[in-house]
Amino acid sequence: MKPTRLALAVAAAAMVSQPVLATNGDHLIGLGAQSRAMGGTGAAAFFGSENALTNPALIGKMQGTEFVIGGTVFMPDVKADATTFGPGKAKSDSDLSIIPEVSLATRINDNWVFGLGIFGTAGMGVDYRGNDELINGYSNLQLMKFAPTLAYNDSNWGIGFAPVIQYGALDINYQFDNTDPSTSIGSGMSTDYGLGFNIGGYFDVTPELTLGLAYQSAIDMKYKDQISNASAPFSQDFGGPLDRPFGDNLEQPSEIKVGAAYTMGNMMYTADYKRIGWGSAKGYKDFNWEDQDVFAIGAKYTANKYWLGVGYNYGSDPIKKLNSSGGDMLKNAQNQVVNLFNNHFFPAVVESHFTFGGGYSFTDNLTVEGAVTYAAEKTKTVDTGLISGGAPGDTSHKVTHSQLGYTIALRMNF
| pLDDT score of 124 | 60
Q: Is 70 exceeded by the pLDDT of residue 243?
A: no
Name the percent of the chain in helix, strand, coil, to the closest 5.
Answer: 15, 50, 35
C-beta separation of 402 from 378 below 8 A? yes
pLDDT recorded at residue 246: 67
CB of 151 within 8 A of CB of 60?
yes
Average pLDDT, integer, range 274-281: 94
Phi, psi of 323 (to 5 degrees): -65, 130
Q: What is the mean pLDDT of residues 102-131?
A: 84
User: pLDDT tens digits for 33-89?
Assistant: 999 999 999 999 999 998 988 899 999 999 999 999 998 888 888 888 877 766 778
The percent of residues above 70 in pLDDT, for the chain, comes to 84
Q: How far apart are CA 242 and CA 117, in angstroms?
A: 39
pLDDT of residue 192 exceeding 60, the answer is yes
Indicate the SS3 state at residue 409: strand
Mean pLDDT, residues 306-313 taken together: 97
Q: What is the mean pLDDT of residues 232-251?
A: 58
Q: Is the pLDDT of residue 344 over 80?
A: no
> Residue 86, class by beta-carbon neighbours within 10 Å (0-12 exposed, 13-18 middle, 19+ buried)?
exposed
**What angle, rounded to 10 degrees, do the helices at 329-345 and 3-13 form?**
50
Residues 6+ apart with CB under 8 A from 279: 285, 289, 290, 291
Q: Check residue 121 and give its pLDDT.
A: 66
Q: Please tell me the predicted confidence (pLDDT) of residue 135.
A: 67
Q: What is the pLDDT of residue 230?
A: 66
CA atoms lying within 13 Å on the CB side of residue 335: 17
How far is residue 67's CA from residue 410's CA, in Å, rounded to a whole number? 8
Instruction: Select the more confidently predicted residue: 328 or 303.
Output: 303
Mean pLDDT of 276-297: 90
Evaluate if residue 305 carries a pLDDT over 80: yes
* Residue 238: predicted pLDDT: 47
Domain ranges of the chain: 3-413
Q: Give the orientation angle of helix 227-235 with respect to helix 3-13, to 10 degrees.
A: 150
List, for residues 351-406, the tens digit of each pLDDT value.
999 999 999 999 999 999 999 999 999 999 988 888 777 788 888 888 888 889 99
From residue 340, give the alpha-carbon distance in Å to each of 131, 220, 354, 393, 397.
18, 25, 28, 14, 7
Q: Are 190 and 169 in contact (CB under 8 A)?
A: yes
Using 50, 70 and 90 to split pLDDT, how confident is the model at 127?
confident
Q: Quote the mean pLDDT of the chain.
A: 84
Average pLDDT over residues 25-32: 81
Confidence (pLDDT) at 365? 93
What local confidence, expressed as pLDDT, does residue 343 receive?
80
DSSP E strand boundaries for 205-247: 209-216
Q: Is the pLDDT of residue 167 over 70?
A: yes
Integer Cα distance of 201 and 157 in angstroms: 7
How confident is the model at residue 236, as a pLDDT? 44
**Helix, strand, or coil (residue 56):** helix
Query: 3-413: CATH homologous superfamily?
Result: Outer membrane protein transport protein (OMPP1/FadL/TodX) (2.40.160.60)
Mean pLDDT of 256-268: 97
pLDDT over 90 percentage in the chain: 46
Query: Where are the alpha helices (H) located in 238-392, listed in sequence order?
Result: 329-345
